[in-house]
Amino acid sequence: MVKLIRAYADAAEDKSLAKEYALTKKSLIVGGAKASVNRFHNVVQKATELASDLESFGLTTQFLQELTQEVEEAKTVIWEPRMQIIKRKAQTRKLDELVDELDDIVYVQLTGMVDLLQFDHPSFHAKFMDARNIIDHKGQRRNTSNPSMDSESPPTPGIDDSA
């Protein structure tokens, strides 16, 4: 491919293109896998730009497509470990958001509704509060933007606290 581009540059008398693609096999693979794949990608990209001109030098669209696919596969293989790390970090952030949402549901919404049942169904209220304490994250995961997680219990009927 490099030879095709160089031959085209010589025929078109494009000295800058000829100089840019005066590459050897060794210069294409120096610098590790990432650098090599980036160089191959640049060569394929330039060949794609010049595809119509390079047809007269023996470049076929099928060969160009195959080469493009191979370079993309190589890029995928090289970047896969990094992409997996990025994906795991995103999932961890999403998990933190979901835990915060669940905390909001349990500690704010459900607790408020169950507190209304405290006097009519004290057994249910006690069991809910026990279950809620089982899933308590020891204050480590609760979203600080939520209002007070533990609301004060309503006053006991028949007892005057004002005295």
Q: What is the pLDDT of residue 69?
A: 92
Residue recorded with tokens 């004060």 = 152
The pTM of the whole model exceeds 0.75:
no
For 34-80, the pLDDT digits (tens) are 888 888 888 888 888 888 878 887 888 888 889 889 989 988 888 88
Tell whether the model's pLDDT for residue 149 goes beyond 70. no
What are the sequence ranges of the domains in the chain? 2-59, 85-134
Tell whether the model's pLDDT for residue 119 goes beyond 70. yes
For 9-20, the pLDDT digits (tens) are 888 888 887 777
Q: What is the pLDDT of residue 89?
A: 93
